[in-house]
Structure 1
Amino acid sequence: MPPAVRFGVNYTPSQGWFHHWLDFDLDAVRTDLDAIAALGLDHIRVFPVWPYFQPNRTLIRPRAVEQLVSLADAAAERGLDVNVDGLQGHLSSFDFLPAWTRTWHRRNLFTDEDVVEGQAAYLRTLAAALADRPNFIGMTLGNEVAQFAAGPHPDPDRITTEQAGAWLERMLAACAQGAPGATHLHAEYDASWYQDDQPFTPAHAARLGAMTAVHSWVFNGTAQRHGRAGAATTGHAAYLIELSKAWADEPHRPVWLQEVGAPAPLIPPEHAAGFTSATIEGALDCTDLWGVTWWCSHDVSRSLADFPELEYGLGLLTSDGAVKPAGEAVARAAREARATPPAPKPRTTALVVDAGDDDTAPHRSVCAPGGRVFEAFARLSEDGARPTTVLASHADDKQHLAGRGITEVVTPEAVTG
């Protein structure tokens, strides 16, 4: 029997959004967690804002760390496990970087030795503070940190693929030093899978850390090309899960759908529940799925200014705690998965992915919306097939194919002509 799929949510505090760390109110947090637990979820992903916790390279605020632990303890009281993101940097279109890395102190986030050692100390401190909590899942290095390493960021910290890998390994090691044996991982946005010049690569995502994390957002050209109800749109999360398996060295490496949401107006609010249900159904049809963590728990309050419009309405609950239709859909999916645990069959048809060199993937845009791999996968899905993916370098490797249960290999050209 495969392990039960986890269902959770990215915790966005109803009062003050992530700025709640500046005026931390544990009673308000408890109210939020009560609402999350009432949905029948089993974990949350938590976001300590980096410059609030480490305002100086050699100052990690003890009180902030204590507040994080108290949040984790409050979650435990409600039966919720906790994953903690460390180096936020970027949340909902805003960058959060400490002053000791910017302007007059401008230093590369990934290669400057002082900055890197400061980051390692911070991650090690957070992990150690939570290491003895039984509901602590582990650390995620940060939220989509890769976006700082290339365009379209307006001021990227340029690095090579080798430097990105070295940074990831060092940060993961720091987490392990703080909390040995916990589940530590990193999480990048879809540029790692789709953008040719992104130094954080599919190989990094699928080979480093305890599991692979994918973040699925259909405003990346998917919904624009295929519509709100197209197979490529409702199946985008499943596509990323299966795409990640092409680069994995382990045939059954766990994959965590760590962020997925229903962004308006591409997914109109009246269709958010249907999109949510279809997306989760598709993800549950993938083997080796660790869990589904929806973005996000609560809507952003309209009292806060300057967010992109879509960010205000992504919650499963309103900012005053009322359950939205998408929240009901996630709760129903979690309830049904507990009653009848999903047991998807292996996907026997694999689509060949040729992105150039396997480690650097210089042509990975073939996997992006409009690319030949993406569109072939969409065509197969529309026709009722259940495809997965395999690297071109493994397409004739009988041992590799057998280990994954693949019996048929097809090229994108054979699908789309």
Structure 2
Amino acid sequence: MKEFMLGVNYWASHAGTDMWRDWNEDIVEKDLKLLADNGLDVLRVFPNWRDFQPVKPVLGGGHSMREYRMENDQYPGNPCYLDEVMLERFERFCRIADKNGLKLIVGLITGWMSGRLFVPAALYEKNIFTDPTALFFQQLFIKGFVGRMKGQKAVCAWDLGNECNCMDQAHKREEAYSWSSVIVNAIKSCDQTRPVISGMHSLELEGVWNIQDQGELTDILTTHPYPFWVEHCQRTPLNSFRTLMHATAQTQYYASVGRKPCLVEELGSMGPMICEEETAADFLKVNLWSNWANGSPGVLWWCAFDQTQLTAPPYDWNMCERELGMVDVNRQPKPSLLCMREFKKQMDSLELELPEKQTDGVCILSRGQAHWGIAYMSYILAVQAGLTLDFAYCEQELPEAGMYFLPSICMDVMSKKSYFDLKKKVYDGASLYISMKDGFLTEFREFTGLKVITAEKSSRQGTFWWEESSFAYRKPYHIRLAAERAEVLAEDDEGNPIFSVASYGAGKVYFLNFPMEEMLLEEENGLEAPCYHFYEKAAEAVLGKRKIRKTNPYVGMTLHQGTDNTYAVLVNYSAEIQDAGILCPGSEKTISCLFGNVEQIEPFGAAIIRF
């Protein structure tokens, strides 16, 4: 695994988004030294598009277009319409970063930031993604800027720009794909030595801005997993189990579906109206350990400095943008920065190159679902059960695995080809878990060993008992079933099969007759019931082959097989000290603890063992 990036999104402490116009080299020097002294090694930075390419139209009679010039009607000093003063300032910035040992991820098309558009005047009335003039100037920007800055040692990656999908409206997937392709190709035509990072957030499986497309076109995907903004996430406090799992779940979801590494590019609490600063630091701490263990390239906080003293838009528009820094207005580090510094020290002392994590199973997201929400709940349940999940969209080629999950299926589920590919994997020996909303599965009787008696669009809810625990269920579609080949593991309160298992070839099909994952999305306290036992049961063949397991549902475990040793990283997703509940029959004498204490993992902390 490559070095884990620890960093922050940076605007100068005195000026925010106006830092290039209001350039103060002394303050920038102090900013970067403070950040480097506190253990950061990467900054994500933004050449404001408005300032670096201040091109405007010059009109003639009848509103006719005559030519493009720079601000104040100046002729451009270069064919890319870039401001020479801004370019020189960015070069000086790169030298300051290099002097402080800081690497830079550069967000190129920064036309959107913190709720405000920063596009050149020439493009005010044009669609940024589809208009030929807009595409022309964006390619010129990249040709001029990347061509000029690719010799700077501090630059480690090019980012498409900050959340570019917010700059304008792409009306269909083809428009989003084409724009992304144009920008990526422009970057790579100038510099093929550095990775291209997506910079996007809120991507979808079946939407306009698509995880699969970004994964195809860029080298590294990105998440911006703020619980406050991301759907389904801040239903519990920032330091609670469900919310603490969000960033890792979403990052693994993007990485698996996009089939590229995924960087946690913007992480933050959204300030003191969400929680106190110590809680924000706890939130960061668990996410550092968790995303490191799960193979993300790094974590960057939003943002470096508080911006309460700034008066220009967007800071005088949006109160929620002003107190998000790791450093306050008096230049004092907040607990979040001290947390990142401590994590850096721990990483340096460990000197551990963690092998790639092992994956136990694949969660298949099917057609028409709330994909992210279903993925989120499935990931949490799998972690509680001691499993490591990858994800796939149902129309992608499925990775090989011993265990597949098909959660909360609705209507047409997947294509015939995908369905038969999945059935063959089960027939050849894999296990499959299915939970039902209102999906249609052909050859259902043959596959599940169950027969549908009747089905109706009738909301039902109730409780049932299984393995000495009570479970609530709620479903919008009621199917009455009869077991033929299937073994009924649990019945609902009407005696209807609600959880069953049947052999299919050399494999097994587990069927849960309600959409547990979708139900849990709306249940603030739903995870207090041991719902993960259904995943544990379905995966018993996979878990049974493990040399080591954990039993505590608040502790996640990833396994990493090296040439000589296997490592287990155990992360405590709770505010209490936790005993991981390690089971390793016959292997106790081969285990050594490299970090922490597996029987007393500190709140939001981790333990690492080698065996």
Match of 1:295 in 2: 302
- Bigger drift between 203-212 and 15-24 goes to 203-212
Conserved 8 A contact 2:105-2:159 = yes
- Structure 2, unaligned runs of 5 or more: 57-67, 69-80, 409-433, 436-514, 517-611
One-letter amino acid of the counterpart of residue 378, structure 1? I
One-letter amino acid of the counterpart of residue 363, structure 2? L
Q: Deviations over 1:140-189 (max 9, x none)?
A: 111001123xxxxxxx4333211211111111121122323222222111
> CA, structure 1 residues 223+302, in 2 after alignment: closer, same or farther (shift >3 Å)?
farther
- Bigger drift between 69-78 and 318-327 goes to 318-327
Q: Secondary structure at the match of 1:390?
A: strand
Alpha-carbon offset, residue 286 of structure 1: 1.0
One-letter amino acid of the counterpart of residue 113, structure 2? L
1:14-163 aligned at under 5 Å gives the runs: 14-56=13-55, 59-102=81-124, 106-148=125-167, 156-163=168-175
Alpha-carbon offset, residue 230 of structure 1: 3.1
Q: Deviations over 1:272-302 (max 9, x none)?
A: 1111111222211212x22221111111133
Q: Deviations over 1:337-377 (max 9, x none)?
A: 233236263231322212x3xxxxxx46321xxx3332222
> CA, structure 1 residues 279+308, in 2 after alignment: closer, same or farther (shift >3 Å)?
farther
> CA, structure 1 residues 302+382, in 2 after alignment: closer, same or farther (shift >3 Å)?
farther
Conserved 8 A contact 1:366-1:372 = yes
Match of 1:153 in 2: none
- Bigger drift between 27-36 and 259-268 goes to 259-268
Match of 2:370 in 1: 365
Conserved 8 A contact 2:201-2:222 = no
Match of 2:286 in 1: 278
Alpha-carbon offset, residue 128 of structure 1: 1.4
- Bigger drift between 212-221 and 339-348 goes to 339-348
Q: Secondary structure at the match of 2:299?
A: strand
> Computing the radius of gyration over CA atoms, which structure comes out larger, 1 or 2?
2
> CA, structure 1 residues 229+350, in 2 after alignment: closer, same or farther (shift >3 Å)?
farther
One-letter amino acid of the counterpart of residue 136, structure 1? V
Conserved 8 A contact 1:267-1:275 = no
2:217 aligned with 1:201, yes or no? no
CA distance in 2, matches of 1:39, 1:407: 44
Percent identity of the aligned residues?
A: 20
1:313 is aligned, of 319, 323, 326, to 323
Match of 2:393 in 1: 391
Conserved 8 A contact 1:142-1:187 = yes
> CA, structure 1 residues 347+308, in 2 after alignment: closer, same or farther (shift >3 Å)?
farther
CA distance in 2, matches of 1:215, 1:257: 6
One-letter amino acid of the counterpart of residue 137, structure 1? C
2:263 aligned with 1:256, yes or no? yes
1 or 2, which has the higher helix percentage?
1
One-letter amino acid of the counterpart of residue 54, structure 1? Q
Alpha-carbon offset, residue 382 of structure 1: 4.3
Alpha-carbon offset, residue 21 of structure 1: 1.1
> CA, structure 1 residues 372+254, in 2 after alignment: closer, same or farther (shift >3 Å)?
closer
CA distance in 2, matches of 1:158, 1:135: 33
> CA, structure 1 residues 42+98, in 2 after alignment: closer, same or farther (shift >3 Å)?
same
Conserved 8 A contact 2:246-2:376 = no
Q: Secondary structure at the match of 1:389?
A: strand
Conserved 8 A contact 1:185-1:208 = no
Alpha-carbon offset, residue 243 of structure 1: 0.5
CA distance in 2, matches of 1:346, 1:146: 33
Conserved 8 A contact 1:262-1:314 = yes
> What is the TM-score when the length of structure 2 is the normalising length?
0.59
CA distance in 1, matches of 2:242, 2:392: 19
> CA, structure 1 residues 226+193, in 2 after alignment: closer, same or farther (shift >3 Å)?
farther
CA distance in 2, matches of 1:383, 1:316: 35
> CA, structure 1 residues 86+394, in 2 after alignment: closer, same or farther (shift >3 Å)?
closer
1 or 2, which has the higher strand percentage?
2
Match of 1:165 in 2: 177
Alpha-carbon offset, residue 100 of structure 1: 1.4
> What is the TM-score when the length of structure 1 is the normalising length?
0.85
CA distance in 2, matches of 1:260, 1:193: 19
Which structure has more RCO (C-alpha within 8 Å, separation ≥ 6)? 1
> CA, structure 1 residues 259+333, in 2 after alignment: closer, same or farther (shift >3 Å)?
same
One-letter amino acid of the counterpart of residue 271, structure 1? T
Q: Deviations over 1:196-251 (max 9, x none)?
A: 64x211112222112212221111244432332333311211112210133234xx
One-letter amino acid of the counterpart of residue 90, structure 1? W
One-letter amino acid of the counterpart of residue 255, structure 1? C
CA distance in 2, matches of 1:145, 1:394: 26
CA distance in 2, matches of 1:379, 1:227: 19
Q: Secondary structure at the match of 1:21?
A: coil
- Structure 1, unaligned runs of 5 or more: 149-155, 357-362
Q: Secondary structure at the match of 1:124?
A: helix
Match of 2:363 in 1: 351
2:405 aligned with 1:410, yes or no? yes
What RMSD in Å do the two structures reach over aligned CA positions? 2.2
One-letter amino acid of the counterpart of residue 331, structure 1? R
One-letter amino acid of the counterpart of residue 408, structure 1? M
Conserved 8 A contact 2:107-2:199 = no
One-letter amino acid of the counterpart of residue 243, structure 2? T
Q: Secondary structure at the match of 1:82?
A: strand
Q: Secondary structure at the match of 1:240?
A: helix
Match of 1:375 in 2: 377
